[in-house]
Amino acid sequence: MASSSSSSSCRVLASQAFRQSRLHFYYFSSVAGFTATSFRPRFLLASSLFSESFRCRHGVSSVSSDPGPLPFPGTYYSKPSAVHEKAGVYARPIASGFGKYSRRGISTEVRPDEGASSGESASSEGTPYDGSTSHDAQGAEQPSQENSKSAEGPYEEKLDEKKQVLRAALAHVPKLGWTEAAMLAGARDTGLSPSIVGAFPRKEAELVEYFMDDSMEKLTEEAENHKEELSNMILTARIAWLVRSRLQMQIPYISKWAQALSIQFSAVRMVAELSLRNLLQANPLNLPTTLKQRALLMDEIWHAAGDRSSDMDWITKRAILGGVYTATELYMLTDYSPEYQETWSFLDRRIKDAIDCRKTAQEASHLAVAIGAGLGNTINSFLRRQSPSGI
Amino acid sequence: MTLLKHMPISKLHRNCRAIHIGQRLSQSGVTSFGFKEVPEEEKTRMVGDVFKSVASKYDLMNDIMSGGLHRLWKDRLVSKLRPFPGMQHLDVAGGTGDVAFRIVDAIYTREQRSFRGMLANTEAKDETRVYVCDINPAMLEVGQKRALDRGLAECPALVWMQGDAEALSFEDGSVDGYTIAFGIRNVTHIEKALKEAHRVLKRGGRFLCLELSHVQFPIFKDMYDLYSFSVIPSIGELVAGDRHSYQYLVESIRRFPSQEKFAKMIADAGFVDVEYENFVGGVVAIHSGFKY
């Protein structure tokens, strides 16, 4: 009995560790994306980000004239145009040398039908995402049974009431911001005593988290509703569509979204400012939940886009998308163009950059294979010449 | 009963026999008064006598016994409650006004911070009511005197009233918050008081209970027992001139249900999201619950 329970707890620990290690990667990429886009422009990219946002502010809309893509945070820092040219130079001989490796378009990289068929097979086995969540559920149950201090009670009811309050509070966010005042107003709207705000120990952070969760559910629904449309799109368009529909959910709250970000990333802000006052204030640490939610969102987008990979790419894809998403989210804050056209074109450019970068990497690996093959032939022939007997 | 009375106290509270006997007797209309068993109707009067005799020195004694910590515990209780303008609050067994003053202060300072205009409307502030309810007029007098000293005598938000925690004169669903600090231990029927709290609270309202509770850590527990059974009655004799009241105090703490058991009782009364927070290793615990 004891051994079985210890082995099961070991399994839970191991699965948690596995999940953690993956999430940490997300955390890193997401934070890198955030810090890079928010702080780097001042030091490294003075021109690109500022010039773009500046232009938008003055309403000189220039969607068509691309001033050169902004280096995509977390992937490369050198001037992108130079990378592109090099990529082109490398690409041509490889493409000509290896017919089957011809420069595949982005569109054919993951074909929708291919994604769908592999998705069916993968879902029966359990994708890495599904697997980790089921382990997570197991892991979450066990400790709660052991060291929960709460007495038993009708929990489902409680969740509903709390969610009602948060949902009602969202209506007050555009006016009152992500504050306790909005939550109090939300409680009044639902006819509950505002004392219920005491049931949210991390205060307004839980409101932001609720919004993030809720939006992700909506995104999943929307992706489900537009399945047909999505399957007719190429991969980049699918990703762009999903990111765009997710970001559109933030439009009602855009004037207060900077505040939401500051709540979500309060730890990053604290470290960045290195302010003793901030550190001493009993600020609840919201960062872990924030990053987890963002990681899951990236996973959801890739999932909805039909990605079923489970190799190393699985991590890089989500990390890169995390960067694209965060950069666009920040760009959106200062976008005053009608219907956020600037933001969507910014998003398209970022995705294009990411795909270009990926192609560059692929082509580099093909080159390495080619060189390796060439070397192999040389050595082979050299050896053959050394031993004329043909041993 | 006389046997229980003459047994060494340190042995008695350890072997739990008294508690079992107490439970058996409570069915036949007998309840505990410290380690003694008294008829139920007697307990209310006896507790009343205790507080009548210590009312004047109550605050001083609290400061001495807890080393001033009871102020921090009460601060924590109010910060957990998160009072808001327009709140209807009921503080039971709060005759000296310690908790009520803190709630009023919290609401008024928050009002000054003004919540970006939304809650700055003065009518919400005018609607704020903190009802201080105590069964003992002597304790209420102490509280009213202290309100005068604090300049809160004219405060419309403070309402002083005599009342029994087991039969409150409030309508169903009429208050946002219910606190009881160091009081529920002295109530004859704890279950009844909890039911009553549940009745008067609005949906979404919060129940908070600050109470002396049980220490779990072995060595600290022994030190705490030594302190409470040897030191506190002596201090009571020296300062308040009443040894028996403080003997009752420490005994009633031992008879009070443990944190887990009390949390279960709160949940049984209909509260959800019940949790508790220990202070100083369990000397004091704040129990919290919501009514939905």
* A128 neighbors A314 (Cβ within 8 angstroms): yes
B272–A157: do the CB atoms touch at under 8 Å? yes
Q: How many CB atoms lie within 10 A of CB B248?
A: 23
Higher pLDDT, residue A277 or A223: A223
Q: What is the DSSP letter of B273?
A: E
pLDDT at A228 over 70: yes
B286/chain A closest Cα distance in angstroms: 12
B4-23 pLDDT per residue, tens: 444 444 443 444 333 343 44
Backbone torsions φ then ψ of A306, nearest 5 degrees: 90, 20
B274–A157: do the CB atoms touch at under 8 Å? no
B80–A198: do the CB atoms touch at under 8 Å? yes
B263–A184: do the CB atoms touch at under 8 Å? no
pLDDT at A308 over 90: no
A150–B274: do the CB atoms touch at under 8 Å? yes
Percent of chain B exceeding pLDDT 90 equals: 52
In one-letter notation, the amino acid at residue A355 is: I
Closest by Cβ to B206, choosing from A157, A191, A198: A198
Please tell me if residue A196 touches chain B, with a CB cutoff of 8 Å: yes
pLDDT at A127 over 50: no
* Interatomic CA distance for residues B61 and B235, integer angstroms: 8
A235-264 pLDDT per residue, tens: 889 999 999 999 999 999 999 898 888 888
Picking from A180-184, A297-301, A324-328, B53-57, which range would have the lowest pLDDT averaged per residue? B53-57
pLDDT at position B234 is: 92
A198–B273: do the CB atoms touch at under 8 Å? no
pLDDT at A328 over 70: yes
Alpha-helical regions (H) of B128-169 = 137-150
* Interatomic CA distance for residues A162 and A186, integer angstroms: 10
Residue of A nearest to B114 (CA): A181
pLDDT at position B28 is: 53
Q: Find how far residue A169's CA is from the centre of its chain.
A: 26
Please tell me if residue B123 touches chain A, with a CB cutoff of 8 Å: no
> B76: which chain A residues are within 8 Å (Cβ-Cβ)?
none
Q: How many CB pairs under 8 A join A and B?
A: 94
B63-98 pLDDT per residue, tens: 999 999 999 999 999 989 988 888 999 999 988 899
Could you write out the DSSP letters of every residue in B23-47?
A: HHHHTTTEEEETTEEEEHHHHHHHH
Picking from A137-151, A371-385, B190-204, which range would have the lowest pLDDT averaged per residue? A137-151
pLDDT at position A375 is: 78
State yes or no: ipTM above 0.90. no
Angle at A266 between CA A263 and CA A270, to 5 degrees: 150
Mean pLDDT of B241-253: 89
Residue that has been written with the tokens 């279960």 in this structure: B264
A332-379 pLDDT per residue, tens: 999 999 989 999 999 999 998 888 887 888 888 888 888 888 777 888
B204–A193: do the CB atoms touch at under 8 Å? yes
* B32 neighbors B21 (Cβ within 8 angstroms): no
B118–A175: do the CB atoms touch at under 8 Å? yes
> A152: which chain B residues are within 8 Å (Cβ-Cβ)?
264, 267
Residue B45 banded pLDDT, cuts 50, 70, 90: confident
Q: What is the DSSP letter of A58?
A: T
Residues 6+ apart with CB under 8 A from B115: A176, A179, A181
Residue that has been written with the tokens 């303008």 in this structure: B85
pLDDT at A327 over 90: yes
pLDDT at position A324 is: 92
Task: Establish how many alpha carbons lie within 13 A of residue B43's alpha carbon, considering only the half-sphere containing its beta carbon.
Answer: 21
Q: How many CB atoms lie within 10 A of CB B233?
A: 20
A191–B263: do the CB atoms touch at under 8 Å? no
pLDDT at position B108 is: 81
A310, with CB counted inside 10 A (0-12, 13-18, 19+), is middle
Closest residue by Cα to residue B56 from B173, B136, B130, B125: B136
Picking from A87-101, A137-151, B112-126, B231-245, which range would have the lowest pLDDT averaged per residue? A87-101
Residue of B nearest to A179 (CA): B115
* Interatomic CA distance for residues A195 and A207, integer angstroms: 16
Residue A148 banded pLDDT, cuts 50, 70, 90: very low
* Interatomic CA distance for residues A307 and A111, integer angstroms: 10
Picking from A110-114, A188-192, B115-119, which range would have the lowest pLDDT averaged per residue? A110-114
> A198: which chain B residues are within 8 Å (Cβ-Cβ)?
80-82, 206, 288, 290
* Interatomic CA distance for residues A80 and A356, integer angstroms: 10
B177–A195: do the CB atoms touch at under 8 Å? yes
Q: Where on the phi/psi map is residue B181: left (φ > 0), alpha (ψ -120 to 50), or beta?
A: beta
Residue A16 banded pLDDT, cuts 50, 70, 90: low
Could you write out the DSSP letters of every residue in A281-303?
A: S-----HHHHHHHHHHHHHHHHH
Please tell me if residue B120 touches chain A, with a CB cutoff of 8 Å: no
Residue of A nearest to B290 (CA): A196
pLDDT at position A89 is: 33
A252/chain B closest Cα distance in angstroms: 19
pLDDT at position A1 is: 41
pLDDT at position A201 is: 81
* Interatomic CA distance for residues B254 and B256, integer angstroms: 6
A255-288 pLDDT per residue, tens: 989 888 888 877 555 555 555 544 555 455 778 8
* B35 neighbors B21 (Cβ within 8 angstroms): no
* Interatomic CA distance for residues A346 and A90, integer angstroms: 27
Picking from A202-206, A333-337, B120-124, B177-181, which range would have the lowest pLDDT averaged per residue? B120-124
Backbone torsions φ then ψ of A167, nearest 5 degrees: -65, -45
A22-70 pLDDT per residue, tens: 444 444 444 444 433 333 333 333 333 332 332 233 333 333 333 333 3
Angle at A296 between CA A291 and CA A298, to 5 degrees: 95
User: Could you give the C-alpha distances from A375 to A306, A372, A381, A383, in angstroms and in order?
Assistant: 39, 5, 10, 12
> A165: which chain B residues are within 8 Å (Cβ-Cβ)?
204
Closest by Cβ to B119, choosing from A165, A181, A193: A181
B156-185 pLDDT per residue, tens: 889 999 999 999 999 999 999 999 999 999
